[in-house]
Copies of this chain bind each other. A is one copy, B any other.
Amino acid sequence: MFGSDIFFKCENFQKVGAFKARGATNAVRSLDPVSLQKGVATHSSGNHAQALAWAAGLAGAKAYIVMPSNSSPVKVEAVKGYGGLITFCEPTLPSREATLLRVIGETGAVEIHPYNDNRIIAGQATSALELIEEIKGLDIILAPVGGGGLLSGTALSAFYFSQGTRVIAAEPLQADDAFRSFVSGAFIPSVNPQTIADGLRTSLGSLTFPVIQEHVSDIVTVSEESIVQAMKFIWERMKIIVETSSAVPFATILENKIHVKGKRIGIILSGGNVDLNNLPW
């Protein structure tokens, strides 16, 4: 269809259904025994919550997860299923942060931020590393960008292990804080963005933004319509389930925003956690 070879790295088949399992595992395994005994903590309503609960469980550690009271029941059950200890809070960032601080104060658990943490970034980097090891001579790797954990890890893997490969980020136009930060050179936070790609609503972090500035070639934005179209296309043609955020990189190709003809393209499909009762078409 596009005159190019496109290779998909299927993080939807990863444990907990998303690349987040990589960073969480690396972060938990990086802890010293004393810290591990006290456990880990985070606030998250998404895939990071499940991933951290899962990774902590593997290490025999406790995972304290602060979740907004309006989190979807499916996600709450998933975190519980992995053994996560949930504390509910109000669905606001101040309440999430205050509740997390209280939990950490009570337990001594180590906070594991979903993306602004070098252990997380290094873990997420293993996805692109595996892709590079398996598929030689990639001209471009496309990854979505939300907080930038996956993207900065991807860019570092390409920089250190495949210098001929450019890393291009894909972002919803309606949550284009990373794009605007990238082109302006100054951090611009994400303010209540209205995108269907719920994993990409977060702002860049103080650790991820500099890596992205240095090692990412470009950030490309796509419309909400293209995201849904790309997602449905992947479901129909590839017979695999990806979530909205996962479809954003492929949407850049559907929108003809990237010159792919004659090139070898790697796309990181970031996850496959979808509410099957609430599809966007």
- Any chain B CB within 8 A of the CB of A8? no
The residue from B232, B239, B276, B277 contacting A240, defined by CB atoms under 8 A apart: B239
Contact A232 B12 (CB under 8 A): no
* A236 CB contacts on chain B under 8 angstroms: 276
Task: Give the residue among A13, A235, A240 with the most B Cβ atoms within 10 A.
Answer: A240
Question: Smallest Cβ distance from A164 to chain B, in angstroms?
Answer: 30
Shortest beta-carbon distance from A13 to chain B in Å? 6
B12–A239 touching, CB < 8 Å: yes
Say whether A17 contacts B276, CB under 8 Å: no
Shortest distance in angstroms between A248's beta carbon and chain B's nearest beta carbon? Answer: 17
For A211-245 the 0/1 string (1 means CB < 8 A from B) is 00000000000000000000010011001111000
Interface residues of A in 53-109 (CB under 8 A from B): none
Instruction: Bits for A2-28, please: 1 = Cβ < 8 Å to B, else 0.
Output: 000000000011000100000000000
Interface residues of A in 239-259 (CB under 8 A from B): 239-242
Cross-chain contact B279 with A276 (CB below 8 angstroms): yes
The verdict on A123 contacting chain B, using a C-beta distance below 8 Å, is: no
> Could you say how many copies of this chain the assembly holds?
2
Asked if A39 is at the interface (CB within 8 A of a chain B CB), the reply is: no
Q: Is A160 an interface residue (CB 8 A)?
A: no
Q: Which residues of B contact A241 (CB under 8 A)?
A: 235, 239-241
15 A-B pairs with CB atoms under 8 Å apart are A12-B239, A13-B239, A17-B239, A232-B276, A235-B276, A236-B276, A239-B240, A239-B241, A239-B242, A239-B272, A240-B240, A240-B241, A276-B281, A277-B281, A279-B279
* A239-B240, A241-B241 known, 8 other contacts, Cβ within 8 Å: A12-B239, A13-B239, A17-B239, A235-B276, A240-B240, A240-B241, A276-B281, A279-B279
